[in-house]
């Protein structure tokens, strides 16, 4: 069975004048949204604070929980429904050293107030501001260093710095768009979402390498053609694979999105955006960057 | 080539069987004891986010240990100078690691004491104030300070380990993170708050004399006499819950600490039916206690825990035998926890809780169940799709995918790695790349067939070409994952570990195992037409 008829020749690269605009606008919207929202909405993992997940066996309205929190004296607490019936998330974003004490008092108070409603405290997270900051800086360092490593490895394997730069440009593009989606959809940036960003990085670089690899092969095969035509050929030759792989992964993520439960919901949503960006960026970010770089900076040996 | 096929089967088969054996304990708990003697494995550990339990990160305030070390040196210095008849005026600790003293008298004599007996303190400056009075600033030697700091952290780790052991938690994990942080994981714990109280308490037990001469009212206004301090006894009214604070003026000098404790047990007072904690000192402690009580009959001796006065009974007579007790309106649980912390010993410095996460067991189960269902459904769909699209070759790819998961699980078991939610994300990515690898190979073989090659040539060429692609994409991702592992923390590492293992397994299953099956079919079974 063939998904794409052999010999198919879409002019992918020829559309780059349009797609530059698409990418540019997407990036602008992403950065603009992050900027207008004053950065991402960090969860307790990164911002520090207290998070409680509670569930009642009896019917309890959200306003009752809100009132209780106010009566306890935590006016800055955010209460929201979570998952199933009578289950709530309480969030208090706050720095300081006495978080542990505050969390203890709140728990004791809630237990007392909702006696007879069978309150179950399902999850408690108390994160000091130091830990969140640490996590942020360390993760940023780790990702930056891994990008440099990718740049060096790809440049070495493909014998041209432009391929390394193209790969990294696509990665940066995808990360910005994924963060833009997080910001636009007003998702809370927490640990699972950080894992998604890492997954997007892995997927995007994998996709890029597959096409670069085909370009490397075709450069030897069609010596007379110019690089732009070769990129087009390579993308067309691997089109079946791109659709199959991205399609299967997308299918999995869609299942996670619909059936994975509330914890996985945001996770899957971000991943969907990242997957689309990752597949698109291979063709319309990584490839044009290589072409542009070679046009302007590499001496033409032939012709 | 056929011989080659046989050997490859043996090697691949052995690896597969070994991985299954490693993974077996995770599937069933009922394995005979001899199994574990042969196969060095355990079941795959689930992270607390999946299993439920508590995760704590503590920071040891090592600076405080240095402070109290310098404080002790200061007290010794005062006694020493007094014994040698050297007049000392002001004597104070400054910052955490300095002592400032004003000393007069024979300069050679006190300089000799300082240099010989207090070599851990270096003289920072010596200035003449009035005639014959010198102001000396001493600073703790930096190497000694480092040793105190390290000692404090090691001891804190040991003490916490002791406390948790006595508290009784299955499979606790207590490790040092960085230089001064302690990571504690307590799976399946039911009462996290109680555990925090138990772990985080300094539990410094001290015995000090009550200052009977000093003026308590003056001290309350803020001017405690030199060498005395103000501490409080907290009394909680069990009926109203109100807290009463009773002030005590105490001699600053600590006569004895909990270090000499041999045992602490909860005992029930038969008269009032109230539990108290009975202390038993070791030989040194017993002698010391006898000396102290003998020398201070009719005075009051305060028993202090973490700067809270518990009681201050009048010493009626010299007490031999090395026994004492702490009373103070406990309930059974409180008294029990107090006995645990006293037995396990005091923390050398206070600890701060930087991070606490506890997940109730029901929530952990929920997220596992939902995750497993979603994973199974999507895995089944992917597998069906592969068969639908690639027919027999799709079946081969599916076998490789299943093998991939078994290998990863086996590796997680033998490396004793913990599977967390971010770890599952890494696993999903590696499986996605495994699907990609199979797709790459199959598409390439199809392409070669289209060029008119024979089946054998198409398989050889398809694998040869696809291998380069798979290697480059997997190695690039692997390098990135290694960097994430090396420079990332907790969750980032969890992601990187499963991703690394998954990628290695991927190259093995997608390239080598499936290749063997194709070779077997075409060479041995003489299949003439590929179902791909």
Position A3 in a domain? no
pLDDT at residue A302, as a whole number: 45
Closest C-alpha to B362, from B353, B370, B351: B370
pLDDT for residue B371 is more than 80 = no
Residues 247-266 of B with CB under 8 A from A: none
Helix (H) or strand (E) holding B115: helix B107-117
Say whether B385 and A248 touch across the interface (CB within 8 A). yes
Least confident of A6-10, A119-123, A191-195, B275-279: A6-10
Q: Is B334 at the interface with chain A, CB within 8 A?
A: no
Q: pLDDT digits over A47-63, tens only?
A: 888 999 998 888 888 88
Position A175 in a domain? yes
Position A5 in a domain? no
Q: Is A140 at the interface with chain B, CB within 8 A?
A: no
Q: Around Cβ B200, how many Cβ atoms within 10 Å?
A: 19
Say whether A195 and B422 touch across the interface (CB within 8 A). yes
Last residue of a domain, one of A127, A146, A162: A127
Q: Is A150 at the interface with chain B, CB within 8 A?
A: yes
pLDDT for residue A303 is more than 50 = no
Name the domain count of chain A: 2
Residues 436-475 of B with CB under 8 A from A: 436, 439-440, 443, 446-447, 450, 465, 468-469, 472-475
A254 with A180, same domain: the answer is: yes
For residue B283, give both structure tokens. Answer: 């030989």
A99 with A153, same domain: the answer is: no
Residue appearing with tokens 């996709």: A207
Residue A94 lies in domain? 49-127
A222 with A267, same domain: the answer is: yes
pLDDT winner (highest mean) among B74-83, B454-463, B489-498 = B454-463
Q: Around Cβ A228, how many Cβ atoms within 10 Å?
A: 17
Residues 87-116 of A with CB under 8 A from B: 97, 99-100, 103-104, 107
Mean model confidence pLDDT for chain B:
86
A66 with A198, same domain: the answer is: no
Mean pLDDT to the nearest integer, B294-320 = 88
Chain A hits for B475, CB-CB cut-off 8 Å, are: 153
Last residue of a domain, one of A112, A127, A142: A127
A229 with A135, same domain: the answer is: yes
Q: Could you tell me the CATH number of the domain that includes residue A86? A: 3.30.70.3400
Mean pLDDT to the nearest integer, B476-483 = 91
Closest C-alpha to B289, from B255, B312, B265, B314: B255
Q: Is A93 helix (H, G, I), strand (E, B) or coil?
A: strand
A164 with A137, same domain: the answer is: yes
Mean pLDDT to the nearest integer, B289-315 = 89
pLDDT for residue B169 is more than 90 = no
Nearest C-alpha in A relative to B531: A1
pLDDT at residue A184, as a whole number: 95
A219 with A268, same domain: the answer is: yes
B191: left (phi over 0), alpha (psi -120 to 50) or beta: beta
Q: pLDDT digits over B173-227, tens only?
A: 888 988 889 999 888 887 888 888 888 888 888 899 998 888 888 888 877 777 7
CB B148 within 8 A of CB B69: yes
Mean pLDDT to the nearest integer, A61-81 = 84
pLDDT at residue B238, as a whole number: 64
Burial of B27 (0-12, 13-18, 19+ CB in 10 A): exposed
pLDDT at residue B466, as a whole number: 93
Q: Does ipTM come in above 0.90?
A: no
Q: Around Cβ B341, how many Cβ atoms within 10 Å?
A: 26
CB B333 within 8 A of CB B354: no
Position A6 in a domain? no
DSSP lists the bridge partners of residue A87 as A55
Tell which of B184, B436, B500 to mutate to test the A interface (max A CBs under 10 Å): B436
A92 with A206, same domain: the answer is: no
A94 with A190, same domain: the answer is: no
Mean pLDDT to the nearest integer, A67-78 = 82
Could you tell me the pTM of the whole model? 0.80
pLDDT for residue A300 is more than 60 = no
Q: pLDDT digits over B421-455, tens only?
A: 788 888 888 888 899 999 999 999 999 999 889 99
DSSP assignment of B163-181: HHHHH--SS-EEEEETTTE
pLDDT for residue A1 is more than 70 = no
Residues 158-177 of A with CB under 8 A from B: 167
Q: Which of the pair, B384 or B5, is modelled with greater confidence?
A: B384
pLDDT at residue A23, as a whole number: 94
DSSP lists the bridge partners of residue B93 as B99
Task: Provide φ and ψ at B145, rounded to 5°.
Answer: -60, -45
Position A7 in a domain? no
Residues 375-404 of B with CB under 8 A from A: 377-378, 381-382, 385, 389-390
| DSSP character at residue A15 | G
| B402/B70 Cα distance (integer angstroms) | 62
CB A218 within 8 A of CB A231: no
Helix (H) or strand (E) holding B247: strand B243-251
Kindly list the strands in the beta sheet with B243-251, ordered across the sheet, starting from the edge strand earlier in the chain. B243-251, B228-236, B308-311, B301-305, B205-209, B256-257
Mean pLDDT to the nearest integer, A195-202 = 90
pLDDT at residue B458, as a whole number: 92
A121 with A143, same domain: the answer is: no
């Amino acid at each position: 069975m063939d998904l794409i008829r052999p010999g198919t020749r879409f002019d992918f690269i020829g559309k780059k004048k349009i797609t530059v605009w698409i990418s540019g606008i997407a990036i602008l919207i992403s950065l603009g949204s992050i900027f207008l929202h004053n950065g991402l909405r960090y969860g307790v993992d990164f911002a520090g604070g207290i998070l409680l997940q509670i569930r009642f066996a009896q019917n309890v309205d959200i306003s009752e929980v809100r009132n209780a929190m106010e009566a306890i004296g935590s006016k800055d607490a955010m209460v929201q429904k979570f998952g199933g019936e009578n289950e709530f998330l309480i969030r208090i974003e706050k720095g300081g050293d006495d978080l542990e004490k505050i969390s203890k008092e709140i728990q004791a108070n809630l237990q007392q107030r909702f006696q007879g409603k069978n309150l179950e405290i399902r999850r408690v997270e108390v994160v000091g501001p130091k830990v969140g900051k640490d996590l942020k800086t360390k993760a940023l360092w780790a990702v930056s260093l891994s990008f440099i490593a990718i740049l060096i490895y790809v440049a070495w394997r493909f014998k041209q710095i432009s391929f390394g730069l193209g790969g990294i440009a696509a990665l940066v593009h995808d990360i910005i768009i994924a963060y833009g989606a997080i910001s636009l959809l007003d998702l809370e940036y927490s640990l699972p979402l950080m894992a998604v960003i890492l997954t997007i990085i892995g997927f995007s670089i994998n996709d890029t390498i597959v096409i670069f690899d085909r370009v490397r092969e075709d450069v030897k095969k069609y010596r007379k053609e110019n690089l732009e035509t070769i990129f087009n050929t390579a993308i067309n030759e691997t089109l079946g694979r791109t659709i199959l792989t991205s399609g299967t992964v997308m299918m999995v993520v869609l299942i996670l999105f619909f059936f994975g439960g509330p914890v996985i919901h945001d996770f899957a949503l971000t991943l969907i955006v990242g997957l689309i960006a990752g597949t698109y960026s291979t063709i319309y970010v990584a490839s044009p960057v290589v072409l542009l770089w070679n046009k302007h900076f590499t001496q033409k040996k032939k012709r | 080539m056929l011989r080659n096929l046989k050997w490859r089967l043996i090697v691949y088969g052995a690896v597969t069987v070994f991985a299954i054996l490693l993974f077996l304990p995770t599937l069933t708990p009922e394995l005979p004891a001899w199994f574990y003697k042969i196969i060095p494995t355990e079941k795959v550990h689930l992270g607390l986010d999946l299993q439920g339990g508590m995760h704590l990160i503590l920071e040891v305030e090592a600076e405080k240990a240095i402070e109290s070390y310098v404080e002790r040196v200061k007290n010794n210095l005062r006694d020493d100078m007094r014994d040698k008849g050297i007049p000392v005026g002001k004597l104070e600790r400054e910052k955490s690691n300095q002592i400032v003293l004003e000393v007069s008298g024979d300069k050679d004599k006190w300089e000799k004491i300082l240099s010989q007996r207090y070599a851990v303190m270096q003289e920072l400056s010596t200035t003449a104030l009035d005639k014959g009075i010198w102001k000396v600033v001493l600073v703790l030697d930096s190497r000694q300070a480092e040793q105190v700091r390290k000692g404090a952290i090691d001891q804190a780790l040991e003490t916490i380990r002791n406390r948790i052991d006595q508290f009784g938690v299955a499979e606790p994990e207590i490790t040092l993170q960085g230089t001064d942080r302690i990571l504690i994981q307590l799976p399946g714990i039911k009462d996290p708050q109680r555990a925090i109280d138990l772990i985080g308490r300094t539990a410094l037990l001290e015995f000090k004399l009550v200052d009977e001469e000093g003026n308590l009212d003056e001290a309350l206004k803020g001017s405690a006499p030199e060498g005395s301090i103000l501490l409080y006894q907290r009394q909680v009214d069990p009926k109203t819950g109100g807290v009463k604070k009773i002030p005590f003026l105490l001699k600053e000098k600590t006569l004895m600490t909990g270090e000499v404790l041999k045992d602490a047990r909860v005992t029930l007072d038969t008269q009032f039916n109230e539990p108290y904690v009975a202390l038993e000192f070791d030989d040194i402690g017993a002698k010391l206690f006898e000396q102290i009580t003998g020398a201070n009959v009719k005075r009051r001796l305060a028993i202090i825990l973490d700067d809270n006065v518990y009681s201050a009974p009048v010493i009626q007579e010299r007490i031999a035998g090395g026994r004492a007790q702490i009373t103070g309106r406990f309930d059974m649980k409180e008294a029990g926890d107090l006995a645990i912390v006293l037995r396990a010993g005091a923390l050398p410095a206070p600890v701060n809780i930087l991070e606490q996460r506890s997940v109730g067991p029901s929530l952990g189960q929920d997220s596992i169940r939902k995750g497993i269902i979603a994973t199974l459904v999507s895995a089944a769909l992917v597998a069906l799709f592969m068969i639908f699209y690639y027919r027999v070759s799709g079946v081969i790819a599916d076998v490789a995918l299943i093998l991939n998961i078994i290998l990863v699980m086996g590796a997680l078991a033998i490396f004793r790695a913990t599977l967390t939610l971010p770890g599952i994300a890494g696993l999903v990515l590696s499986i996605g790349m495994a699907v990609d690898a199979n797709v790459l190979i199959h598409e390439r073989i199809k392409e070669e067939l289209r060029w008119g090659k024979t089946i054998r040539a198409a398989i050889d060429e398809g694998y040869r070409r696809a291998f380069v692609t798979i290697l480059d994409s997997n190695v690039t991702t692997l390098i990135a994952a290694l960097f994430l592992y090396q420079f990332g923390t907790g969750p980032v590492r969890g992601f990187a570990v499963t991703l690394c293992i998954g990628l290695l397994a991927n190259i093995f299953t997608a390239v080598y195992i499936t290749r063997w099956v194709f070779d077997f079919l075409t060479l041995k079974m003489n299949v003439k037409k590929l179902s791909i």
